């Protein structure tokens, strides 16, 4: 961290800042230029909030040198982190992993129909929402525990792992009993008590980027989970809010290579929520993989016209087969495998 003093800072002000730096257990490195004095704070600055120095008289600004999300950073863990699920499915490390299934669990027939469609294409991780965070309180809210049981039964029949969203800290033990992987939705990215609870769950977590969150905020949210001792965190770019109205959200394609630089955690793209339109899912999914994503989260429904949520963006069986065909070809062209 570097503390820049303002041009009129007195010697006393400089001295009281360096005193504060040493009081906090750091070394202060003073550098007096012709117009400005700067004070280098030597030591691991991450546990210290820049506000501690910003409020002191004579300080113009404080510049962080290290990213505040230490455990999430590639500096901390240089090699790609791979998440391994009990059924052998993996996320990260270069292969293209696909998680697919319905937006919401609606009935046994519907989950079974969707799961069979995706399993036929080699998918080993079944997605489906039992607790749905809907914008309107009048929209279908999910089947709750009954939905979890249906997901579990169907996944077991097909040897699949389950990923499903958890929306409150109190539900974490229940959802962890039925699912191999927990999803934290975009609307809950900054729900810090939920992040701590999933961090404590012992389950891998897929953390979705908030609709209006920066990548720094996403990494700091991941840090909450990692700080609980849980290394198995994957990040999901699912589109952010922009002025564009022709799609539901705007997939931030830059986020993928930027995150791959900053962190070794797996990065997944959700082209379904990003676009809101089934016909746009395949091109955006392929762009995500080409940009370096480790996997996809895709909504699939045996009959999207009858879906209780997100039917317009859900792929039908034919659409999903077409997507997987292209994903496999692209993965091969990139020297990666798709599973």
The site for Mn ion (CB under 5 A) is made up of 103, 310
Nearer to Mn ion, 103 or 300 (CB): 103
Spell out the residues 6+ positions from residue 204 whose beta carbon is closer than 8 angstroms to its own.
83, 85, 91, 180, 181, 182, 230, 232, 233, 234
Of 146-154, 185-193, 254-262, 279-287: span binding ligand PEP (CB under 6 A): 185-193
Count of residues interacting with ligand PEP (CB under 6 A): 11
Nearer to ligand PEP, 124 or 238 (CB): 238
Of 19-27, 118-126, 181-189, 196-204: span binding ligand PEP (CB under 6 A): 181-189
Alpha carbons 243 and 162: distance in angstroms, whole number: 35
Task: List the single partner that 252 binds among ligand PEP, Mn ion, none, CB under 5 to 8 Å by kind.
Answer: none
| Cross-strand bridge partners of residue 182 | 164, 205
| Nearest to 225, CA basis, from 271, 170, 273, 188 | 188
Of 13-21, 66-74, 179-187, 258-266: span binding ligand PEP (CB under 6 A): 179-187
CB of 307 to ligand PEP, least distance (A): 12
Q: Does 301 bind ligand PEP (CB under 6 A)?
A: no
Alpha carbons 296 and 134: distance in angstroms, whole number: 22
Alpha carbons 181 and 198: distance in angstroms, whole number: 10
Nearer to Mn ion, 252 or 310 (CB): 310
Q: What's the half-sphere exposure (Cβ side, CA atoms, 13 Å) at 330?
A: 25
Beta strand residue intervals within 2-89, DSSP E = 2-5, 27-32, 37-42, 59-63, 83-84
CB of 9 to ligand PEP, least distance (A): 47
From the CB of residue 27, how many other CB atoms can be counted at a distance below 10 Å?
11
Of 165, 171, 180, 252, the residue at the interface with ligand PEP (CB under 6 A) is: 165
Q: Are 126 and 330 in contact (CB under 8 A)?
A: no
Q: Does 119 bind ligand PEP (CB under 6 A)?
A: no
Nearer to Mn ion, 83 or 103 (CB): 103
- Positions 225 through 244 that interact with ligand PEP (CB under 6 A): 238
Of 68-76, 118-126, 182-190, 258-266: span binding ligand PEP (CB under 6 A): 182-190
Of 91, 103, 207, 285, the residue at the interface with ligand PEP (CB under 6 A) is: 103
Q: Does 195 bind ligand PEP (CB under 6 A)?
A: no
Q: Is 337 helix (H, G, I), strand (E, B) or coil?
A: coil
Q: Which residue is nearest to ligand PEP (CB)?
A: 185
Where helices occur in the chain by DSSP H, the ranges are: 11-23, 51-54, 108-120, 145-158, 172-178, 192-200, 215-226, 255-262, 271-275, 278-290, 317-333
Of 142, 185, 199, 319, the residue at the interface with ligand PEP (CB under 6 A) is: 185
Residue 63's φ and ψ, nearest 5 degrees, are: -115, 125
CB of 231 to ligand PEP, least distance (A): 23
- Interface with ligand PEP by CB under 6 A: which residues? 103, 129, 133, 165, 185-187, 208, 238, 270, 273
């Amino acid at each position: 961290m570097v503390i820049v003093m303002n041009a009129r800072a007195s010697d006393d002000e400089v001295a009281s800042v360096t005193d504060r730096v040493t009081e906090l257990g750091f070394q202060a490195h003073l550098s007096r230029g012709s117009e400005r004095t700067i004070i280098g704070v030597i030591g691991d600055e991450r546990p210290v909030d820049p506000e501690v120095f910003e409020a002191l008289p004579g300080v113009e600004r404080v510049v962080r040198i290290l990213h505040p999300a230490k455990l999430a950073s590639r500096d901390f863990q240089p090699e790609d982190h791979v998440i391994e699920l009990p059924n052998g499915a993996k996320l990260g490390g270069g292969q293209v992993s696909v998680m697919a299934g319905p937006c919401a669990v609606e009935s046994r027939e519907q989950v079974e129909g969707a799961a069979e469609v995706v399993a036929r294409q080699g998918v080993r991780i079944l997605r489906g929402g039992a607790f749905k965070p809907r914008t309107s309180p009048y929209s279908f809210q999910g089947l709750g525990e009954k939905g979890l049981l249906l997901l579990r039964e169907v996944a077991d029949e097909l040897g699949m792992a389950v990923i499903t969203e958890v929306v409150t800290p109190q539900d974490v033990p229940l959802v962890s009993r039925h699912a191999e992987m927990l999803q934290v939705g975009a609307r809950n990215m900054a729900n810090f008590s939920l992040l701590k609870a999933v961090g404590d769950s012992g389950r891998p977590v897929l953390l979705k980027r908030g609709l209006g969150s920066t990548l720094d905020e996403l990494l700091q949210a991941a840090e909450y989970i990692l700080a609980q001792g849980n290394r198995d965190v994957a990040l999901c770019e699912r589109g952010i809010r922009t002025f564009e109205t022709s799609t539901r959200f705007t997939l931030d394609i830059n986020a993928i290579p930027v995150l791959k630089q900053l962190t070794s955690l797996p990065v997944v793209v959700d082209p379904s929520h990003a676009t809101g339109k089934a016909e746009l899912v395949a091109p955006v999914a392929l762009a995500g993989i080409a940009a370096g994503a480790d996997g996809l989260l895709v909504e699939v429904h045996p009959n999207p016209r009858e879906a209780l949520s997100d039917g317009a963006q859900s792929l039908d069986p034919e659409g999903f087969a077409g997507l997987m065909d292209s994903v496999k070809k692209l993965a091969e062209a990139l020297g990666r495998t798709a599973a």
